Structure 1
Amino acid sequence: MRSSYKKRLERAKRALEGAEYVLLGGGAGLSAAAGITYSGKRFTEHFEPFINKYGFTDLYTSSFYPFKTEEENWAYWAKHISVNRFEIGATSLYEDLFQLVKEKEYFVISTNVESQFVKAGFPEDKVFEIQGDYSYLQCEKGCHDTLYYNESLVKEMIEHTRDCRIPTELVPKCPVCGGKMDVNLRKNGYFVQDENWYEADRRYTQFLSKSDKGRIVYAELGVGFNTPGIIRYPFERMTYNNDNAALIRFNLEHPEGAPENKFKTIAFTEDMREIVRDLME
């Protein structure tokens, strides 16, 4: 195993050293590897009252819980947002990724919503968080395209949470239609794409066009099959269409890829933190 790892590591190093461009694609597995886990000790320590009251088992499934009241719903979501977005700084894995690519011409597309890339030093104009950001609220029905930064409101909600409920007066209402508010996450057809979202999309498209036939490494970081059409499948397609491309896949459970890209793909199932550190040496 170590012999195989060393060979793959050397191939990945050569690909990165020779690359004109690097496109990072961040998925849920990347944040999990960085320590932003949705189950286990981190979950039980922060959400004990909600676990006791609702029987929650992890942060992913609990985010779909049908709360009976808005007061309960926002007590949970305030804590969820705070723990994953505001209470955690830049993690070492994301910081190492920045050090790995900062001298290259690079771009980031991520389905993660904790803003870890930006916290780790990646400039905002090189990051496309295509699925949203925990730190913003939107009209639940998307009646208008303005997003609302929620840090101060989230802190106030947590401060006044009692028995897994917030006071009614803290329940957010849409300032336009008067309806309910929601977290700006792509979970239904009402997801709001504001002006900043479209600008990030334009920059991503420009990067793809510029790097189309260049020497490029597509680094797929912990991307699963919840939304394969955003990163995994496009990265495979772009690798296939570019003779100068290499695909480096970091994936514990699904390292396999398109057979057509067999000789262009370098797959890792080892600890992502270890791999990135080794790539930096």
Structure 2
Amino acid sequence: MNEQYEEVITKIKEADAVVVGASNGLSISEGIHIFAENKDFIEKFGDFRDKYGFRSIIQGCFYPFPAEEEKWAFFSRMYDYFLYNGEASPVMKHLYELVQDEDFFVVTSNIDDHFRQAGFPEDRLFEIEGNSRNLQCRNACHNKIYPGDDILSEMARAQENGKVPAELIPECPACGGPMQVHLEIDRNFLKGEAWQTSFQAYRDFIEKAHSKKLVLLELGVGARNQLIKAPFMDITYAEKNAAYITLNKGELYIPEEIAAKSIGVNGDTAEVLQRLAQLK
């Protein structure tokens, strides 16, 4: 295993560019599992579970709440659960230590905004499905997204009996209509100016790395993931100098076509990142 870790570090150090791709498995390594009916879910969201019947955070994101007061109670509590302590986890700190000296870019489907919390620059980050701290007009009447930290934090602390006070519910500054958290939970998800800018920055980074030594570092991405894994494997196949490195616990998938250019590390992502950061 030490030889494998050394090989990963060598690939990263020798790379001209590093693209980090992250999905749910990275969040799980931090202790957050949005798909699980686990102890945290029951402790933090048990009243919603009992009242509405959904059994995970992700199910709550898509639940048709009967009233705005209840919807915002859930989403503000989710925000509080993800970001309440304001400090990056050891997992994210180790990941940042691993790539901070490289020319890197991050693409993620995670909604917890932990990359930005850990110090990853916003202009090197593409959150495909948004994050839990920003707001948008539900009707997508204009392209702007808004920071929601203050109002979400206030709602998280003011709610009672699974509801927030009606006077705290935000309205769109442009049309006066309802707002929602900027997450891809329905067709109203705003792929506006900020989203398009991040997407273009990601595409530009890949294009700039053409024919160079490119490392695609994939963290906790499932085998069926079409947002991150499939493009990463396509790029690896197309780029002769690319290396594909995937970290996941119990689920590694590397097609034969790119096996010679790939490294798969099967282990606890938190432990692997800590070890790699120490070696770096």
**TM-score calculated relative to the size of structure 2:** 0.90
SS at match of 2:260: coil
Aligned to 1:245: 242
Does residue 83 of structure 2 align to residue 85 of structure 1?
yes
Question: 110, 113, 118: which is aligned to 2:111?
Answer: 113
2:9 is aligned with 1:10: no
Q: Deviations over 1:66-98 (max 9, x none)?
A: 221111111111111221134452111111111
What SS is found at the alignment partner of 1:47? Answer: helix
Q: Which residue of 2 aligns with 1:127?
A: 125
Opposite residue 31 of structure 2, the aligned amino acid is: G
8 Å CA contact 1:18–1:215 kept in 2: the answer is: yes
Is the Cα–Cα contact under 8 Å of residues 13 and 102 in structure 2 kept in the other structure?
no
Counterpart for residue 203 of structure 1: 201
Q: Give, as a single letter, the amino acid of the residue that structure 1 aligns with 2:260.
A: F
Q: Is the 8 A contact 2:77 2:156 kept in 1?
A: yes
Partner of 1:171: 169
Does the 8 Å CA contact 1:138/1:182 hold for their aligned counterparts? yes
Q: CA RMSD in A?
A: 2.0
**2:129 corresponds to 1:160:** no
The match for 1:31 is: 27
Structure 2, unmatched stretches of 5+, are: none
| Counterpart-to-counterpart distance in 1, 2:117 and 2:160 | 31
Q: In 2, Cα distance between the equivalents of 1:107 and 1:240?
A: 19
- CA shift, 1:233, in A, is 0.8
> Structure 1 pair 163/153, CA: closer, same or farther in 2 (3 Å)?
same
Q: Distance in 2 between matches of 1:159 and 1:275?
A: 36
Other-structure match for 1:19? 15
Between 1:72-81 and 1:171-180, the stretch displaced more is 171-180
Residue 153 of structure 1 aligns with an amino acid whose one-letter code is I
- SS of equivalent residue, structure 2 residue 120: coil
SS at match of 1:262: helix
Partner of 1:67: 65
TM-score for the superposition, normalised by structure 1: 0.90
Q: Is the 8 A contact 2:130 2:183 kept in 1?
A: yes
For the 8 Å contact 1:134–1:184, the answer to whether it is kept is yes
**Percentage of pairs with the same residue:** 34
Q: Shift of the alpha carbon at 1:103?
A: 1.5
Deviation track 1:138-172 (CA, whole Å, cap 9, x = no partner) reads 11121111112212211222233121112222233
Q: How do 1:170-249 residues align onto structure 2 when only pairs under 5 Å count?
A: 170-224=168-222, 228-249=225-246
Alignment correspondent of 1:100: 98
1:265 alignment partner, one of 262, 266, 271: 262
2:272 is paired with a residue of what secondary structure?
Answer: helix
Separation (CA, whole Å) in 2 of partners of 1:194 and 1:64: 21
Whole-angstrom distance in 2 between the partners of 1:279 and 1:215: 20
Q: How far apart, CA to CA, are the structure 2 residues paired with 1:194 and 1:66? A: 24
Letter in 2 for 1:255: L
- Partner SS, residue 71 of structure 1: helix
Moved more, 23-32 or 61-70: 61-70
Distance in 2 (alpha carbons) for counterparts of 1:130 and 1:62: 19
Structure 1 unaligned segments of length 5 or more: list them.
none
For residues 178 and 36 of structure 1, the distance between their equivalents in structure 2, rounded to whole angstroms, comes to 35
Shift, 1:111, TM fit:
1.3
Q: Distance in 2 between matches of 1:241 and 1:19?
A: 17
Contact map agreement 1:85 1:134 (CA 8 A) in 2: no
Between the aligned partners of 2:31 and 2:210, the Cα distance in structure 1 is 33
State the number of aligned residues. Answer: 276
Whole-angstrom CA distance in 1 between matches of 2:57 and 2:264: 29
Distance 1:164 1:46 in 2: 11
**Cα distance in 2, alignment partners of residues 86 and 146 from structure 1:** 25
